[in-house]
Amino acid sequence: MSDRRVLIDAVAVEERAASLGKRSIEKSSKVAGLELTVAMMDLTTLEGNDTPGRVRQLCEKACVPLESDRTVGPCAAVCVYPNFVSVAKEVLRGSGVKVASVATAFPSGQFPLAVKLSDVRSAVEAGADEIDMVIDRGAMLVGDYAKVFDEIAATKEACGGALLKVILETGELGTYDTVRRASEIAMAAGGDFIKTSTGKIQPAATPAVTLVMLEAIRDHYAATGRKVGMKPAGGIRTAKQALHYLVLVKETLGNGWLSPKLFRFGASSLLNDVLAQLEKERAGNDVECKHPQYKLAEISEASAEDVGNAVAAAREAYEKTWSEMRVANRAKYMFRVARMIQDKAREFAVVQAMDGGEPIDESRDFELPLAAAHFFYHAGWADKLELAFHGRSARPLGVVAAIMAADFPLLTAARHVAPALACGNTVVLKPAETAPRAALLLAKIIEEAGLPQGVVNVVTGGGEVGAALAAHPGVDQITFTGSAKVGKYIQRALAGTGKRRTFEFEGSGASIVFADAPIDQAVEGIVRVLYFHQGWICEGGPRLLVEESVHDLVLRKLKDRMATLRVAISTFRTPEEAVEKANSTAGDFSASVWTNKGSKFFWMAQRLKAKTVWGNTCNKFAPSPHSLSAYTEVV
C-alpha cells in the first residue's frame, strides 16, 4: 500500500458529479441502461424480523423481477444474514443469481477480529458466493490504517473462493480525503469490490462520494492492472438516479465496468421504480392530462423526494395529531368535508366530465352523492369502532398509501380515504395520471375544512410515482384500485415487506338469471349493467348466465328490448353449475343473481367469488362497515 496521499478538491468533485447527472440519454440507451440496472441489482433483506419465507420471496423476485415480461433478466445477487444463506442457496440453485451475506459484525464492525472471521467462515461454509464486510470506521478515523488493512486482508483470506465487498460506510468517514484513503486501503488489502454504505446510516451513497471511489479504482487499475468493482448502496431510489450512476461509471472507468461483475447497486427499493420506468419506456406511453382538442391542465410529476416528503408529512400528522385526536373531533372534520363535497358538486361534476369523459349526469347524480355519503357514513363510525368489531379493540395502522384508478376518481378516493381517516390513519393519495384533478380538488376541500396539515396528502404522476409510494418504508398499508397487471406488480414489490395491502381489480362478473326470476326486471338490470358508464366499470357483469329452461325467453326479451344489443348467453341447469361457470374467471368484482327465492340467493352469494353480490338488482352502492376492517388492526 502506497503512502502517497491524494487530496480531493471537494468543489470540483461535486460539480463534475452533478454535471454528469445532466447528460441526456437517448431512448434506446435508456432502455438498455434500465435493463442493465436490473442485472446489477443486489436485492437485500437485513431486518431483525427476517424469516425463511421472506428470504424465499426475495429470492424468487431476484430470479424473475418482472413476471409480466420474462425478457427482463434476473438480478445479480441476494444479500442476507449468514443464518439465511442456506435458504437462499436452495431457492437460487441453478438461477445464476449469487448469494451474498453480510459479515464482520454488520453494520457496526465493532467486534473482535476473531469473531468477525468466524462470522465470515460460517457464511462461506453455508454457501455464500460473496461476503459484504464492514471496516472498523473508528480505526480509520483515528488513523490506524494498519489495523484496517490487516482486518480486510484477514477477511479476504477467510473468504476462500468467495468474492469480498468492502463497505466503507462513507457517511461516517466525514471527508472525501478519508473516503479516498479508505478506498485505497480496501483495494490494496485484497477487496474485490468497494462499497459506499450499509444502507443503515445516512448519508449513504451520493454521486460525489461514488465519483471519488471510482477515481480511486481507476488509479488502482492503472498502477496494478487489477480491476476492482464498485457498489453504491443506500439512498438510490429512482431509475433517473441509477442512470446517473451508470454515466459516472462510463465516464470514469469506461464500458468495461458496465457489468454486474464490476458494478452493483445495493438498493432494493430502487428495483420497483426501474421496472416501472422500463415498462413505460418499452410501451412508449407519455400520458398527458388533456382533452382530445385542447390542454386541460399541466400536472406536476412527483419526484421520489416529493413522495418521501408526503409520507413524512403523513407520518408526522399520524403520530402527533390525527391518531391522538378525540374521535368526536375526527368525525367533525369528516362531516365538514362531506358537506363541502355537496356544496361543490357542480364543480366536481364538470371536472370529472372533462377529465374522463364521464357523462355529467352520472357524475352529478351518482358519483357525487355517493362520495359525500362515504364521508358522512364513516364520520358516524369514527367513535363507534368497537361496535364494528364486536367489542374488540381496533387501532389504526398508520400511514395509508392509496393508489387509485381513473374510473370514478372522486368516488374511488372517497371509498378509501374516508374509512382510513375514520379509523385514525393518515393518507397519501396517488390518483391516476390521466384523471388527477378530482383528487386535487378533494385535497383543496380537505385543506379548507381545516384538517391538520399532513393528514391527507396528494402526489401526482404516473406508474413510477405509484411504485415509489408503494415501496416507501414509511407506508404501513397499500390500497390499490386498478388493473390486475399493475396489482400483481405491486404485490411482487411488497413481497416480504410485511405491509398490509388491499386490492380491487377489474373483473368480468356474471349476471345469473334463474327460471323463477322476475324476467322483465332482470332484462332491465342486464342492460343497465352492460351500458352503465359506457360499460367501463369494474362492477359490470358482461357475462350472462341463464337457467336453461328460460334461455329462449330471456334472449327474446333482450332482443326486443334493444335490437342492436349483441347478446352472448351461457346456460346452466343447476345452481351448482351456475356457481362453477360464474367463478370461472379471476378477479370478479361483483355479480348479480336474479331469483324470487331468498334461500337460493343466499346460497349463491356464499359461493360466488365476488366482492359484491346483488339480488334482483345491480349497480346499487352504499357505504358499508366492511371497509373499516381494511384500515384497522383488531385485537
Which residues are marked as active site?
A: 132, 195, 231
Give the 3-state secondary structure of 429-458.
EECCCCCCHHHHHHHHHHHHCCCCCCCEEE
Label the pairing between strands 612-615 and 590-594. parallel
d(CA 622, CA 635): 27
DSSP class of residue 6? P
In the chain, the amino acid numbered 534 is: Q
d(CA 295, CA 454): 30
**Residue 160 has which C-alpha cell?**
476462500
Q: Could you count the other beta carbons within 10 Å of the beta carbon of residue 624?
A: 13
225: left (phi over 0), alpha (psi -120 to 50) or beta: left
Distances (CA, A) of 610 to 42, 314, 413, 523: 39, 33, 21, 21
> Contact 229/261 with Cβ under 8 angstroms?
yes
d(CA 436, CA 441): 9
Q: What is the signed CA dihedral for 274, 280, 284, 285, rounded to 10 degrees?
A: -150
Long-range own/partner contacts, residues 446-454 (CB < 8 A, 24 or more apart): 446/337, 448/340, 449/333, 449/336, 449/337, 449/340, 450/333, 450/336, 451/333, 451/337, 452/317, 452/321, 452/322, 452/325, 453/313, 453/317, 454/313, 454/314, 454/316, 454/317, 454/321, 454/426
- Provide the b/e sequence for 291-315 (b: ≥16 CB within 10 Å): eeeeeeeebeebbbebbbbbbbbbb
The whole-angstrom distance between residue 409's C-alpha and the CA centroid of its chain comes to 20
Q: Give the end-to-end CA distance of the chain in Å, rounded to a whole number.
A: 60
DSSP line for 347-384: HHHHHHHHHH---HHHIIIIIHHHHHHHHHHHHHHTT-
Identify the three-state secondary structure at position 307.
helix
In the chain, the amino acid numbered 125 is: E
> Contact 395/629 with Cβ under 8 angstroms?
no
d(CA 319, CA 623): 28
The whole-angstrom distance between residue 236's C-alpha and the CA centroid of its chain comes to 16
- Listed in sequence order, the residues at least 6 apart from 187 whose beta carbon sits closer than 8 Å to its beta carbon are 194, 216, 217, 220, 226, 228
DSSP class of residue 135? -
Which of 319, 321, 338, 339 has the alpha carbon at shortest distance from 329? 321
> Contact 221/254 with Cβ under 8 angstroms?
no
Phi and psi at 570, nearest 5°, equal -100, 150
Burial class of residue 242 in the structure, from the number of CB atoms within 10 Å of its CB (0-12 exposed, 13-18 middle, 19+ buried): buried
The C-alpha cell 390500497 sits at: 479
